[in-house]
Amino acid sequence: MHGQKLPRSWEEHLPKREYKKGTMIIFIRGPYNRIWPTFYQSGTSHLDVLTCGWEQGTAAYGLNVGDACLFQLVNQTERIFDIRKR
């Protein structure tokens, strides 16, 4: 997995003062409570993706290409999302 496409609604869950088009670091936390810094990239082409860090985090949690994932915002200020298979 080299990146994960995200719905545009993701930007609603990010701190407004820090959100702008481009890249920011968010943190994904899996079933073992390990937190992975992951790049969130938002572009003008209406395509938001998770990139650097996503592949390592999903491998550590046993997620594979084609798995459906559920993200839950845990801490908006710190940009922490829990992730698990659906």
pLDDT by position in tens, the chain (length 86): 456 666 666 667 665 545 556 778 889 898 788 898 988 877 656 667 777 888 888 888 888 888 888 888 898 888 898 988 87
Token pair listed for 25: 């670091």
Q: Determine contact, residues 36/27, Cβ cutoff 8 Å.
A: yes
Nearest to 54 by CA among 73, 38, 68, 70: 38
End-to-end CA distance of the chain: 17
| Tokens 């938002």 sit on residue | 42
pLDDT of residue 53: 82
What does the pLDDT read at residue 1? 44
| pTM metric for this prediction | 0.73
Would you mind telling me the total number of residues written for the chain in this entry?
86
